[in-house]
Amino acid sequence: MSNNDVVITGLGATTPLGGDVASTWDGLLTGRSGVSTLHAEWVEKFDLPVKIAARLAVDPTEVLPRVQARRLDRSEQVAVIAARQAWADAGHNEDTVEPERLAVVVGTGIGGANTLLDQDDLLETTGLRKVSPLTVPMLMPNGPAAHVGLELKARAGVHAPVSACASGAEGLAWGWRMLKTGEADVVVAGGAEACIAAITMAGFAQARTMSTRNDDPERASRPWDVNRDGFVLGEGAGIMVLEREEFAKARGAKIYGRLSGIGTSADSYHITGPDPEGTGQARAITAALRSAGLDPKDVDHVNAHATSTPAGDVGETVAVRKAIGEHPVLTAPKGALGHLLGAAGAVEAIATVLSIRDGVIPPTLNLENQDPGVVQEIASGEPRKMDIRAAVSDSFGFGGHNVALAFTPA
C-alpha cells in the first residue's frame, strides 16, 4: 500500500434539500426539511400507509438535456448531475488526467427500479413493441457508474458496489483503495439512488421500517428521538473527486480535506436488523481509525447513519462508544434529508468534509426528546461550532454491511 494520502478535490450533489452541494449544506445548517407529502396516483391507488417521502429539490429533467434525460433512469440522471458538479468543482477537464489513470466508483442500493416498473407496465398493457431497447442499461445497478464513466472517459475501472444503504460509502472506500494501491491517480466516487416507487414504498411499509407520520411530514424523520417511528425514503446523489495527494498538488488543485482511512465489516447477524451489540459496526470504525493512523481520542465528530428507526439508532451509538468513546459530538443528517439509501453515505460524507472545513456541525432535525439509551452528545437545535481534528462518517445497510470513513483536514 502507498503512503500517499488520498485527498478530496471536488464535491457534487443533488438532494431533497437542493440541487447542488451549497444549497444542500445550507439546508442542513439552517434546519430545513426535505420531506413532504407524496401526490403520486399510486399512493391512493394502493392505499399505502406511508404517504410521505423526501423528493429531489430540483428535478433532473430541469437540468439535463431532454433527449439525454429520456435515455437515463432517474438513478442514472442524479449520478451524472452530481458527477458533473464534482468534476467541474475539482477543476478537471479532458487534459488534466489520462483516461487510463481515471476510475469511477458509484454505488447504489437498488438501481433502476422506476425503469423496471415502467417498462413492465408497458409490456403488460401495450405489448413488446413499446418496450424500450434501453430497458436493461437503464435498470441495471451499474448503470449510474457506467454513465458517469462514459461521460468522463474513465478507463482505469468503472465499478458499482451494491451494499444497500452502505453503497455510497463503499464507493468512496473502494476509490480510496484504488488510489492507495496505485491503480489510478483520480477516482470519481460516491452513490446514487432514486427509487421512490409503489413497490419500494409498499415493501418498506410492510416491513414496518418507515415513518407513518403522514400528517406532519417535516417532523417525521427524527433520529434518536424517543418518538421516532421509522425512516423516510429519499432520493439523490453525492459524488466526490478523490486524488492521490501528490497528483492533486502537482496540478495545483484546491483540497477540501483528506479521506484518511476506511473500514468495512459485516454483521452476519440478520438480513435487515443490526446487531444490537454493535460489534460489526464497531469493527468497521476501528478499522477506519487504524488505516488512518488515528487514535480514538482524536475523533471530535461522528456523522451518524442514524435513520430514525427504533432499533438502529441506539445500536449505532453503542458501536461508537465501543470504538471511539463518549466524547465525539454526533449528528444525523437524515432528520433533514430523509434516507437516501445507496446515496446516503456519499452525501453524508460530503457533509462531514464540510463540517471539518467550516468548523461547524449541522443540527439533527426534530430531536426534541433524546432517547435515554443514547449517552453521547448530539448536535441539535442550532449548528455546533467547533474545531474538528478528525471525523468519522458511518454507513450501514440491510444484509449487515458496515462502512466507516475517517476524514481529516486538508
pLDDT tier, 120 (very low <50, low <70, confident <90, very high otherwise): very high
Which among 181, 174, 171, 183 is positioned nearest to 82, based on CA atoms? Answer: 171
What domains can be seen in the chain, in order of their start residue? 6-251 (3.40.47.10), 261-408 (3.40.47.10)
User: Residues 335, 330, 280, 239: is their CA dihedral positive or negative?
Assistant: positive
Query: Which listed residue (165, 237, 288, 403) is catalytic?
Result: 165
Question: Taking phi first (over 0 means left), then psi (-120 to 50 degrees means alpha), and beta for anything else, what does residue 129 get?
Answer: alpha
At 320, the pLDDT band (50, 70, 90 cuts) reads very high
Task: Encode 40-61: b = buried (16+ Cβ within 10 Å), e = exposed.
Answer: eeebeeeebebbbbbbbbbebe
Q: Would you state the pLDDT for residue 1?
A: 38
Q: Is 165 a catalytic residue?
A: yes
What does the pLDDT average to over 28-53? 96
Cell of 23: 444549497
- Taking CA atoms, 110 is separated from 43, 169, 368, in Å, by 20, 15, 32
Q: What residues have CB less than 8 Å from 6, skipping those under 6 apart? A: 175, 176, 179, 180, 242, 243, 244, 245, 258, 259, 260
Check whether 351 has a pLDDT greater than 50. yes
230 CB neighbour count, 10 Å cutoff: 24
Per-residue pLDDT band for 204 (boundaries 50, 70, 90) equals very high
Q: Mean pLDDT throughout 347-366?
A: 98
pLDDT at residue 94 in the model:
87
The per-residue pLDDT for range 261-287, each reduced to its tens digit, is 999 999 999 998 888 889 999 999 999
For residue 108, pLDDT over 70 is answered with: yes
* pLDDT tens per residue, range 161-200: 999 999 999 999 999 999 999 999 999 999 999 999 999 9
pLDDT, average across residues 23-30: 98
pLDDT score, position 2: 45
Q: Is the pLDDT of residue 4 over 90?
A: no
Please tell me the distance from the alpha carbon of residue 119 to that of residue 135, in angstroms, as a whole number: 7
Please tell me the pTM assigned to this model. Answer: 0.97
Are 103 and 188 in contact, with CB atoms under 8 Å apart?
Answer: yes
Q: How far apart are CA 249 and CA 237, in angstroms?
A: 27
- Residue 3 has a pLDDT of 52
